[in-house]
Structure 1
Amino acid sequence: MIKGWLRKTIHCTATCLLATALIACGGSGDSDGGGFIGGGQTTDYTLSLKLGDNNDPVELKSGEQTSLTVSLTEGGTAVSGTVISVAASGAQVEPSSLTSNANGEAVFTLTAGDASGAATLTASVEGPSGTVEESVSFNVIGRAPPELGLKLVDLSRQPLAEITPTKKGVLEVTVSGGESAAVAQQVISALTTIGKLIPESGTALTDDTGYTYFIIEADGSDGAGTATASLTVGEQVIEASLNFSISSRLPYRLNVTLLDAQDEALSVVETGETVIVSVLVAHEDSGEPIANQLVSIAAGDLGAVTPTAGTTITDEAGVAQFKLAVGQTTGTFEITISATFAGGSAMERLNVDVIQANRSLGYFDNAGAFVEGVLLINPDKELSPGGSASITLGVVNDAGERVTSEETVTLSSNCLLSGAASIEPSSPVTFVGQTALTYTASGCSGSDTLTATLESTGAEASGVIALSEVIAETIRFEAATPEIIAIRDTGSASDLSESAAVTFQITDIDGNPVSNSRVNFSLGQDIGGIALYCHNDAFCQYSSNSDAVAGRSTRTSDRSDLDGLVTARVLSGFVASPVRIIAYVDLNEDGKQDEGEPASSSKSLVITTGLPDQNSVSLSASVLNIEGAYEADGKQTIITVRMADKFNNPVPDGTPATFTTELGSIVGSCLTQAGACSVEWTSQSPRASDTVDRYSAPITIFENIDNDTPSRYRCPSHLEAYGPCPDDIGDETVNPPGAPRGGRSTLLVTAIGEESFIDKNANGRYDEGEYWTNLTEAFVDHNEDNRYTPVQRDNCIDPAAADDVCLAGFEEIFTDYNFNGVFDLNNTPAAAENSSLPDGLFNGVLCQPEDAATGICSRELLSVSNSLVLINSFSNADNFTLMAINSALLEPTALQGGQTYTLYVADVFNNPPSAESTISYQGSGRCDVITPAPTIRDTSRAGAFAVSFAVSTADGEEATAEPDQVSILLTLPSGSQTVRTYSCDVEEPPAPVDCNDPQFSPPP
């Protein structure tokens, strides 16, 4: 039973607080001091708590339930409708709050907790003077906690005290007994101070019997440690632990032995010797051999191992063997043997001492005697070109016995080095004891000393091979490097060399190279100062002293090398020309070509400027009219520039070209290959001029009938006030003073080059008075008027006051070649009065230095360029209009049979549809088109697509159910379509004759 002190209330506390409040207000706590209650005096709440129904329990068992009744009164009167909250310690109360009933009571359900000891319940309510609380305590008899059992066993569930790489430990955990929790599906946590715990999370669930386990593996460490398992029950943690040890030792051993060819054990080895590395793999305790075990070897710098992979497998006796070819370095080396087992790897190291072997090189004669230092050559006579000889050599040890290990020999000679002879097998050659090789002559003459060197000791043997004389039979052109060279004194401008090496090869009758043959060279043609380099040789032939100083000769001479190759250097002159070099073998070395001496000529070598000239710059696009480019990003076309020099030879590979675009984007540059290179243009913003959009608008085919646009449209090809027009309606000659065009982008390509001129006297140079095309600095011509608008048109400074043509070109940019910040016309000095020549000077490397010095022309380069226009077209056919025009240059209200009409098709900006668009005609009723459907080709020309079509009508025939009309259908590559339909005038048949009609009069 709960003692009486548990039933106390806070009545006294409330009364004291009330008295204090009275004193603070100037009254007294005495009822005689002013009538507190009668004068608005209030009382506070009182709480009382009761456990159970009638008998108050003193203690509850864990999990046992009873009721908690909380009564709320005020001045002894029950208070209803007020929220009462209960907090618990050591127990659970449900719910946590209730509203008092009419009796001022709230009944809660109380559940005792798991832990033994005192539990406390605290009820609270918000009263008129603040929070009112009351508590009650009782005793909890807790459940007995479960117990943890812990064992360490092996995989066979036998007790285990030590874990090794081959023996894993199983940490078994058992949950048993206790009343506080079930044993199944409990989370067990484990940790270990040594070894590797699996799973790595360190947690596991028990099964229905309360059992679970963890694996502990060796982790390479040695020593003892503790494994601990724990279970959390409520706020209580139950633990169990055990101690164990770990060893990293593997129960295997590797025995390594060095053996010779007779399986005798070796303590030292010789350089160049081949030995056996024998490895026995066995259990350490039982000594039982382990078969089929993979064994690895690492010999380092000691020598080469076979198998080359450095691995092999033990046989049934547990033995693995490697062949080791000891190198040529003496000293102590380490061999490492390793094997990987379940649980880890075992390793064994063996130190090997290598001493220098004694070896001699020579051959064995017919009696078996060894001849040191000499090679046996058979036959011992002169070899003709292509002939062969056998070379025999052998190796002996310091006892004069043939060696039983492999030896490597390198063979060398002058003829072998030059390739004028060969040996088979090729050098170096590896053999045991003795070997034979085949020497073949293939262009050498005289004698060739062949030397064999033993790799292991450096011992040598040699022999001399006699070779018959090789006679040059053929001279053949090999190559000219480079094939294009620059005109003299122009190479710095084009990055071309001003000289080239021309190479020939001399061979004998069998095609073998012939060395040391004298070859004389001369020019196939001597124009413009072309020369051959020749210096300090009596054979040189100079035209002047200055040529002699510069080594510029009309002929030269040289000797073939070991490969039979001979080279002359060609020096360019002042004239662009193809050049051929004549070469002959001077067999008797008399300095002149005699009958029967082999001769040849080179292929053409080209001398040119290497710079593009203005009229040889070509620009093209894979697609000129790009469908969808006005509406969508990412539409592409390939832009290709082709450039050639004044003589229309392709510019050298690597010549840079630079690109700029008015609209969209373009890759900025490319380098030529075979005179051409390409970049990609891609549709994106901008798609129009910001200046035009702000101060005007592009001209359209409907603007005359649109009150919101200017009325600038006029089409010379028809009399309608709107619609597609085959003329360029933005041109100032068509609609003065011109207008901005929409959907058109100008591209510019520039390169460093020279102006074009007409070479009247064909001397390959610019001469005074010859006509040339003067170039301004290059610019992107937005308004397609062939002028740099910001400079070359008047009143184009202020866009607010500029006309439409100025606005269309207001954003044009130029290539400032000389970086002076000014658009240069290059028009000074002015041409003479009445001269047909342009103002300015010819610019180019074909201006001779002496002419440049006197101001006749200039050798300064400039930007050569070319432009093209792309159409940014639509992929929606609603943006296109079709219009038929009759012979009166008007759009007909109806089509007439036997008449021909012109069909114009354009988008809103008067641009034609893109290539691969199709136009089809469909007649109906008694009307049809008799002209085949046209083909729309790729073009960026300004103006509508135009085509003629003829109409036929079935005059006099009865009408059909279908209307008499022609429909013209435009289909874009995107599949989008638009149609224009015209009705047809058809002559109706005569009315039927009624013979009974009084008005009928038969024909006479």
Structure 2
Amino acid sequence: MKPVYQLLTALVLSIFLIACGGGDGETPCPPNTPCDLLEQPDPGSETTLNISLVLVDTNGNATQNVTATRPGKLIATVSGIDTATVVSFSTTIGELPITTAVTDVNGKASVDILAGTTLGAGTVTAKLDTGEFATTVVVIGASDLQMGSGNPFTSGVAAVSSAQLSAGGTASVSVVIQDANGTPFTDPAQVMFSSTCSQSSPTKAAFDTPIALVNGVATSTYLANGCVGDDPIMVTANVGGQNLSAVANINVLPANVGSIIFVSATPDIIGVKGSGMQETSEVVFQVMDTSGKTVANKTVNFALDTTAGGISLSQASAISNTQGLVKTVVNSGTEPTSVRVNASIAAQGSTPMITSQSRKIVISNGSPEISLTLVDGQGNAIPNVTATYPGKLVATVTGIDDPVIVTFSASLGELPIKTAVTDANGQASVDILAGTTLGAATATATLMTGETASTIVIVGVADVQMGSGTPFTESVAAVSLAQLSAGGTATVSVRLQDSNGNPFTEPAQVNFASTCSQLSPAKASLDTPVVLVNGMASSTYQAKGCEGDDPIRVTANVGGKNLSATASINVLPASVGSIVFVSVTPQLIGIKDAGLNETSSVVFKVMDIDSNPVANKTINFALNTSMGGISLSQSQAISDAQGMVHTVVNSGTTATTVRVTASIPATADSPEITSQSRELVISTGIPDQDSFTFYPEVLNPECWGYVGEIIPVHVRMADAFNNPPADGTAVNFNTEGGAIDASCLTVSGSCSVNFYCQHPIPTNGRSTVLATAIGEESFADINGNGRFDAGDENDAFLGINGYDGKDVEGKPYDLGEAFVDFNEDQLYNPEQTGGLPGGEEEELIDFNGNGHFEDKDGLYNGVLCAKDTNNQPHAGCANPDLGQSRSLNIREDFVIVMAGSKGVGSSIVITDSCQSGDPGCSLTVADNTNGTLDVELEAAGSVSLVISDVNNQQMPFGTKVTFSASVGEIITEDNYNWPSSNTPGGMRFGVAVKGETTPKSGTLVVETLTPHGVSTQVEVIPIVIH
């Protein structure tokens, strides 16, 4: 018995045993399918599911054989269930472009099987989620394909555009793959190109490789890059397990023969005749001698590689000038295509022909036009911009339907972004700022095809002032300490504002300098430049050997206006001694009763004139603010043996920042010595509800039938003062469908996890995902004191006396316990009434652990409650002494659509070009409800429809929706990319179709292609042109 039949016999016997339940009675797992992913059937179910599997050829006949030219189709038939069922397919050999399918009304589900690259026999399995499966045998055989070229076709030989090249020249190498009947092989395949010189080290020739096969043809460009003489070329491909190859040869002339070098094609995109675009392109070559010098008075011949549509040359030959340059002009034809120019010098005596080839010149049927306007933030046309009034350049492109890139430039002003893509209205825009130079300038918008438009922009002087203080003093900088000890630090700050006192909020850099900071070596340092934030810029000054008065100058150029301010710091000589700031630990503490650490240790070091530590020195401490009752544990301390001295800052009841000043009192022999700490932040550190943000990167991944898709999910939180909560705050996650990482810990207020596509998958394809963290409720701080007060703030929280009880996003302040809202009705259906169906199994996040849902309690659950006259929380707040919690689960959720791959069409709306009986309408059969698009000659009608997945939900993010018409012309956008969306139901798409000059009939085909490569023909709509 031959080996292949022995293998087939063994496979058939094993399949028979599996189908009969052979073995110990357990149902084995299908190949390559983890058993723990299979849902086990309900032992109490009385319904018996059966599944069978057959392999058929393209004519529907049963077969066991598949080749690269004869693919097959796997058809699974499911009985015992009336509803649509997902069938998963797998194979041990060959390729399955799609691995899942849904049964139709006849209980059948099918997928294609391709040959792949390995020959032999294998097993194909079709499996249900409930565990039932069926198998069949597939044999992958060698195909009858050939690789070659020419007409007539010559197998094993590749075609080359130039058999002999000058040094540095290029040529195209191409092959055709076809079957024994001469039919091109159209399945995907990669073709490899190589030569002896391209594989040398270093390489002396180059190929574009690999090349994707398109309609049976693969073409690569060969570049001579040092190769001399014959260079054997090998072209290979593996198709359906069959190794194909073809050979060719290119002879590269030595450099001493001379060469022709392609220089330019200007422009490299031209229009077809009558398009309104430029219809000619000037092509330039340069003739070189053996030493690389230009050659004059040399005759060069030109030829086109195609004359499609009547493409022609202005001249077939030319003589090189003194720079060795020679040129010709390509005249476009009537068809959109691409063309190259071949240049050659005829063979003379022992010198062979020298050739070269230009780059590709595109001939387009488009005729874009562009205009440019300068507008303000409201879209009104304006003539000028200033630092306080920036503008926007808006380019409008007409004459082309596709999005195009527009490049912007301006000889004055600043463009933070210089390119943009046109939107559906053909408009692209970028911001233009004033910059630092005044005057009038030209702004230009340019398309890649060379079309330009321009407008005048005037950059004017802004009315900005630099200064400090309240009231504001122009040209004066503020310093936190006018006198410093040696090595001490102080803050220098300025404010930029307009003539009305409004902060200047545009981006700007502010420079800080002093006399000592500019010495070499520097004897002082300043942070510079500093970016302006909300009109303020602050720099830290540190004395590093400077003594006496150190003049400080602050400068900035805003919108062409030079601004400046001055100040001075007096630095005491080192002989007096110094105080150096060492540390503040921690740098974030909580306000009173917030539950965080409420104290921070601030350390300074006392130094003598030689920078040695000074012990037993009395140091005084002071705060720069006592807002909310901030205090120091001690206002005086004595330095230890290391010169260290410290005090402790106790937080108050208000969120703020604070610094500590350390000083040594003045004596008869020395002035006062001072230094200042860095900023210490006082806040709650507890996340609150209205700052909780929870979002996925994709709302509609292709989950239905694809296990393992991963979607990153992100959380951002802040406390009641919108500062990040303490690092390490835990966030927990729950999901209705799929799976999600259990928790993450925040760093700087954020953390991320992954959502995974897997079972369970809700029947409607919509999964609610919930994130919770222990935090506090939000409230409206009407009086701005940072506390939840009785009266108006309590009314606003509860929604009484004219208030609605909701935050700026329309969400309630007062919260009940969190739960996973399966049916999206905002009610916990197991215990609340009036809800929608589908929420009976919703999962409770039981904060108090009593096993029941607790609704909102009418109290503020948080740490920022104002105290009454008895120093107790007022009646509107949760009071721990009464067993009421000051914290709860803050939460946020979203719905992720576990989208299916098959597109389904519905709600088709057909609008004929006119209705029969209307004035001027030549149609006698036009009826918008007859299912056919009827259009008059050269008139237009439209079709739109709603597309959804199999569950009437959004298709997967990134799905491509395409419309194609076999007659007429689609005059609107004909393809769309599906956005990230979880809106219930599908999405409507449509096109307009224009009739031709003669009556015709055809179809409009609507198709979807998902990111996993699943293609669906959604609808086919008849078109009749009358």
Do the two structures share a fold, i.e. TM-score over 0.5? no
TM-score for the superposition, normalised by structure 2: 0.38
TM-score for the superposition, normalised by structure 1: 0.38
